[in-house]
Structure 1
Amino acid sequence: MLLNYLLNLPVASVIFALTIGLSIYVFSNPQWYGRLMLHPYSVYRDKSKWYLVLTSGLIHKDWMHLLFNMITFYYFGFGLEATFVQISGPLGHLWFALLYIVALVLSDIATIIQNKDNYGYHSLGASGAISAVLFSYILFDPKMLLGIFMIIPMPAYIFAVLYLGYCIWASKNASDGINHDAHLFGALTGILFTLILYPWIFKHFVSQF
């Protein structure tokens, strides 16, 4: 089964394994957090530090953070790569990789700008890119049921509206240490990237209602 995933969905498989492996490594070697976390103050002043935009998306704060993101990625990342391949053939693997990388970068741009003078601010986690994956998937199947908090069933299109609304509110009002801007801009990146890649997806989305 693992070999089938690797052969048929190599990009999602590598992202999944690399994120879990590197996250577990830094759990036991916390000195690596400082080397891999996003530090907007440094990135803004030293362009050689832009690699932190990517590495910060491969590590997580704790087991719960990692588990939540990887469960979401497992259910939607592999399915989205398969969908891209079904539509675009082997190029679908490349499109999925680009979606994930572009989302990692764009989901952090607002964070870098807003915190460029805040030396004490750091950010980590794959939530921005995974939000992009989820929202891209929703365009293909807007009426699928999502289990909110793994319990409450809700149609995906309703979840999407509530999620975006909450992210906008939380980015201005919440003080929970969560990078809500990354979630918001990651989700928007997933939508925009998919619309550019497959312009017909808008008509498909609307036709589902």
Structure 2
Amino acid sequence: MSAYRQNPLANIPPVVKNLLILNVICFLPYIVFSEDFYDKNFIQNLGVFYFNSPLFKPWQLVTYMFFHGGWAHIIFNMFALYSFGMVIEYALGSKKFFQFYFICGLGAIALQMIVQAYEVYALTGHIMLDLHKDIPVDAAGMKKLQEIYFGPMVGASGAIFGLLVAFGMLFPNAELMILFIPVPVKAKYIIPVYIVIEIGLGISQFTGDSVAHFAHLGGAIIGFILIKLWRVQRPNNFF
């Protein structure tokens, strides 16, 4: 019987496989220890902070992509990486897919920091602050500055949004099943709607919403640019 048993990872292309493994490994401290231990020892050091924050370190621009804020966060991202990443890696080839994934992740944090810099400037007239000096803002403004300067961003979502856009561009007629929608919807319809929703959520940024919507948009924009720039063509043997 064992001759017919196949490793469930056997058909996953190498970059997606290794990304899945790395993300799971980085999540293990959350499982083995506690959320508090994970936050203090990993998120606070390897999540990414605003570039002017005293907690910012250059390596965080990469490491933030491998850490997640909880079960729902990692499950959604890894399911999307598995579902869309495999097809995109087969379409681009492993080397280009590797480049695509990380460039989208860097583009995600770049846009997030640009938006954060705008928010800091709107509150203070500067994009870089000396936190040892008094900052002439009200209580609400100070709370916002604290969120920007001391709130880490984690997750593969920015890179994942790049994959979603690439999938929609290369396979527009692929039908996707969406939660709460009982019929399949073509990628060329649902993915643009999803992007528009992210734009709306990012602009409104309602109280209590801790999701970095502009990071998602940054990954999506870079994904679109790369597919156009590289002139990637839809493979004939897919969908």
1:92-103 alignment runs, 5 A limit: 92-103=93-104
Determine which of 208, 213, 221 is the counterpart of 1:188. 221
The alignment status of 1:19 with 2:23, answered yes or no, reads yes
Task: Please provide the CA RMSD for this pair.
Answer: 2.5
1:37-56, aligned counterparts within 5 Å? 37-40=47-50, 43-44=51-52, 49-56=57-64
> Does residue 167 in structure 1 map to residue 167 in structure 2?
no
Answer yes or no: is the 8 Å Cα contact 2:170–2:233 preserved in 1.
no
Q: Secondary structure at the match of 2:190?
A: helix
Task: Output the CA distance in 2 between the equivalents of 1:200 and 1:78.
Answer: 16
SS at match of 1:136: helix
Are 2:135 and 1:105 equivalent residues in the alignment?
no
TM-score normalized with structure 1 length: 0.82
Shift of 1:150: 7.1
C-alpha deviation, 1:121, in angstroms: 2.5
Which residues of 2 match residues 21-36 of structure 1 at below 5 A? 21-27=25-31, 28=33, 29-30=37-38, 31-36=41-46
Tell me by how many angstroms 1:2 deviates.
Answer: 4.5
Whole-Å separation in 1 of the counterparts to 2:180 and 2:15: 26
Q: Aligned ranges for residues 1-209 of structure 1 at < 5 Å? A: 1-2=7-8, 4-5=10-11, 9-27=13-31, 28=33, 29-30=37-38, 31-40=41-50, 43-44=51-52, 49-84=57-92, 92-116=93-117, 117=120, 118-149=148-179, 151-152=181-182, 153-175=184-206, 176-198=209-231, 200=233
CA contact 2:164–2:191 (8 Å) conserved in 1: no
Greater Cα radius of gyration, structure 1 or 2: 2
Measure how far apart 1:25 and its partner are.
Answer: 2.5
Deviation at 1:3, TM superposition (A): 5.8
User: TM-score when scaled to structure 2?
Assistant: 0.72
More helix by share: 1
Q: How many residues align?
A: 192
Q: Within 2, Cα distance between the matches of 1:24 and 1:2?
A: 20
CA distance in structure 1 between the aligned counterparts of 2:57 and 2:76, rounded to whole angstroms: 28
**What is the letter of the counterpart of residue 94 of structure 2?**
H
SS in 1 for 2:69: coil
* Cα distance in 2 between the residues matched to 1:150 and 1:196: 35
Give 2:138's aligned residue: none
Q: What is the identity, as a one-letter code, of the residue corresponding to 1:38?
A: V
Unaligned regions of 5+ residues in structure 2, if any? 1-6, 121-147
Report if aligned partners of 2:53, 2:150 keep a CA contact under 8 Å in 1.
Answer: no
Q: Is the 8 A contact 2:112 2:214 kept in 1?
A: yes
Consecutive unaligned residues of structure 1, counting only runs of 5 or more, are 85-91, 205-209
Give distance in 1, aligned partners of 2:11 and 2:84. Answer: 14
Shift of 1:177: 0.9
- Post-superposition Cα deviations, 1:13-53, rounded to whole Å, max 9, x if no partner, equal 1111101221232453412110111111xx3468x822212
Q: Secondary structure at the match of 2:58?
A: helix
